[in-house]
């Protein structure tokens, strides 16, 4: 992630770390085998034109995703304007990174907690094979002590599901 952030930063390409690494930045410690980045399609193309074959390789010909050949870490690109989960149009889409990023203590831009919650809830709502997204939201609610009325800050498309997940976050394993 650090190598990717430096490379994109040197190219002055706007991006933000998303997914599990962003969850980590917002207090939910969990392991992951890849790095998700929020990026514009044209900026991804510019990065690939310059760096593929120089320590970075496509996952397969024509893939938006790629791999850091030095660290053997997969990178999944979340393209601005596309949709989380099933990829079908919905009220929640991948936003421009500069509109939703916050710089972490490590100097790397991460998507905001609000955006992370919206994207994970929308993904979980539209794909049955990604229950981890809902678990991440439950953990983030608890770790960040989010109140139930935080739902009012979220896109209305995901607000009701946030309230349901908030209820789940109130249950302690110690009870």
CATH number, domain with residue 151 = 3.30.460.40
CA 31 from centre of chain: 14
Token look-up 């983030």 returns 140
pLDDT tier at 138, thresholds 50, 70, 90: very high
CA atoms of 94 and 80, how far apart (whole Å): 5
Task: Kindly tell me if the per-residue pLDDT of 173 is higher than 80.
Answer: no
For residue 155, give the 3-state DSSP assignment.
Answer: coil
Domain membership of residue 38 (yes or no) is: yes
- State mean pLDDT over 44-69: 95
Domain membership of residue 70 (yes or no) is: yes
Domain membership of residue 175 (yes or no) is: no
The candidate with the shortest Cα–Cα distance to 78, out of 19, 140, 29, is 19
Beta bridge partners, 67, equal 57, 74
Residue 13 pLDDT? 98
| Averaged pLDDT of the chain | 95
Domain membership of residue 174 (yes or no) is: no
- pTM of the entire structure? 0.94
Domain membership of residue 92 (yes or no) is: yes
Task: Kindly tell me if the per-residue pLDDT of 22 is higher than 70.
Answer: yes
DSSP class of residue 172?
A: -
Residue 60 CB neighbour total at 10 angstroms:
8
Q: How many structural domains compose the chain? A: 1
pLDDT in tens, 31-47: 888 999 999 999 999 99
Domain membership of residue 89 (yes or no) is: yes
Task: Kindly tell me if the per-residue pLDDT of 116 is higher than 90.
Answer: yes
DSSP class of residue 169?
A: H
pLDDT tier at 70, thresholds 50, 70, 90: very high
Q: How open is the CA angle 80-86-90, to the nearest 5 degrees?
A: 60
- State mean pLDDT over 127-140: 95
For residue 57, give the 3-state DSSP assignment.
Answer: strand
pLDDT tier at 84, thresholds 50, 70, 90: very high
Identify the domain containing residue 150 by its residue range: 2-169
The candidate with the shortest Cα–Cα distance to 146, out of 125, 122, 163, 124, is 163
> Torsion angle of alpha carbons 18, 141, 134, 20, nearest 10°?
30
Domain membership of residue 91 (yes or no) is: yes
Beta bridge partners, 16, equal 38
- Token code pair at residue 81: 């304007």
Domain membership of residue 149 (yes or no) is: yes
The candidate with the shortest Cα–Cα distance to 40, out of 16, 56, 73, 60, is 16
């Amino acid at each position: 992630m650090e190598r990717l952030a430096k490379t994109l930063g040197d190219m002055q390409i706007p991006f933000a770390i998303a997914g599990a690494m962003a969850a980590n930045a917002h207090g939910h410690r969990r392991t992951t085998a890849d790095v998700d980045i929020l990026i514009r399609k044209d900026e991804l193309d510019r990065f690939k034109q310059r760096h593929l074959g120089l320590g970075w390789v496509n996952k397969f010909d024509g893939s938006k995703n790629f791999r850091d050949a030095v660290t053997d870490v997969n990178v999944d690109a979340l393209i601005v304007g596309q949709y989380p989960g099933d990829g079908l149009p919905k009220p929640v889409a991948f936003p421009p990174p500069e509109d939703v990023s916050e710089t972490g203590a490590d100097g790397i831009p991460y998507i905001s907690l609000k955006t992370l919650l919206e994207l994970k809830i929308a993904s979980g709502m539209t794909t049955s094979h990604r229950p981890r997204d809902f678990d991440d939201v439950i953990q983030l609610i608890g770790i960040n002590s989010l109140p139930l009325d935080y739902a009012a800050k979220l896109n209305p498309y995901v607000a009701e599901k946030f309230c349901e997940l908030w209820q789940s976050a109130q249950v302690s394993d110690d009870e």
